[in-house]
Amino acid sequence: MHYLITGAAGFIGSNLVKTLNERGVSDIIAVDEMTDGDKHQNLADCQIADFIDLADFGEICARFHSLGNIKAVIHNGACADTMENNGRLMMAKNFTYAKNVFYWCRRFNLPFVYASSASVYGVGKISREEPQCERPINMYAYSKLAFDQFIRKNIAAANNTVVGLRYFNVYGARETTKGKMASMVSQLYWQLRAGGEAKLFTGTDGYPDGGQMRDFVNVRDVANVDLFFADRPTTVKGIFNVGTGKARSFNEVAQLLIKRLGRGKIEYVPFPEKLAGKYQSFTEADLTALRAAGYDADFLPLEKGIDCYF
């Protein structure tokens, strides 16, 4: 039986492949779009059984072609550029494509675990998987929320596992190909390596300079949660937050990196006017639903997560 992972050459997808390999599993069908050939780096030390182009898999789903011997589908393939404002492109990749994968999994009764995002909560301080907490502030976040809403409408009719995971601020190995969309942990690390200065925003939304706070979750933990639901012997349905449940400030991230590197300092730069009202100054996962679903493993605290990253 094969795991099918979309976005397999991406940040989270490749960590899923590597985690499975570490568990002795190589029966993996990797699905991705490889126009950016540098993404091969994320899979260079991994073992897979087959590769399917993202567009070809879309056709397989649209035509309900069976691939046979699929254990579970973990759908991470998406447009993850939070600054992309082309709504048609975003909805095609993050909504319509995901909808076809959902229908395909439902037809063949396959567990379907997909990537949502904590960005759906917008600037709100309460991150609970409920409509009253959801208010996206960019097109990326809306595309993710739109699919979550679609799932909520259609989940009851499905006999298979259908699980959406709202990732918070994921960081860790294999994110170098993400460029400007890399985590704050990665960006600050490379800033310190290159120039010795970690650049943080001045205060905004009532937070002091560098005091904006995010829930930073290591990608190893994200992969473990994905596989927890993909491997469940009983049917599970729902949308769940994936974070540590504890917000940490950008100052703390920078200070931990400086300590680990043994050098560097923090520089505060003006908060961009174009981000006013469109920036999450605070995120913290409410893990009540995730814990109720049976996931009881501890999450790596930021200190240990950064040590793992190094």
Q: Which residues are catalytic?
A: 140, 178
Residue 302 · residue 252 · CB < 8 Å: yes
Task: Tokens for 106, please give them.
Answer: 């439902």
Which spans in 242-287 are helix H? 250-261
The partner residues of 197 in beta bridges, in order of sequence, read 265
**Cβ-based neighbour number of residue 206 at 10 Å:** 8
Alpha carbons 131 and 121: distance in angstroms, whole number: 9
How many angstroms separate the Cα of 270 from the Cα of each of 202, 257, 266?
Answer: 5, 22, 13
**Among the listed residues 50, 46, 96, 47, the one whose alpha carbon sits nearest the alpha carbon of residue 70:** 50
Alpha carbons 261 and 264: distance in angstroms, whole number: 8
Beta-strand relationship, 248-249 and 28-32: unpaired
Alpha carbons 215 and 223: distance in angstroms, whole number: 16
| CA distance between the termini of the chain | 34
Residue in this structure with the two tokens 């933990």, named with its chain if needed: 221
**Cβ-based neighbour number of residue 45 at 10 Å:** 11
- What SS3 class is residue 276? coil
What is the Cβ-side half-sphere exposure of residue 224, based on CA atoms within 13 angstroms? 15
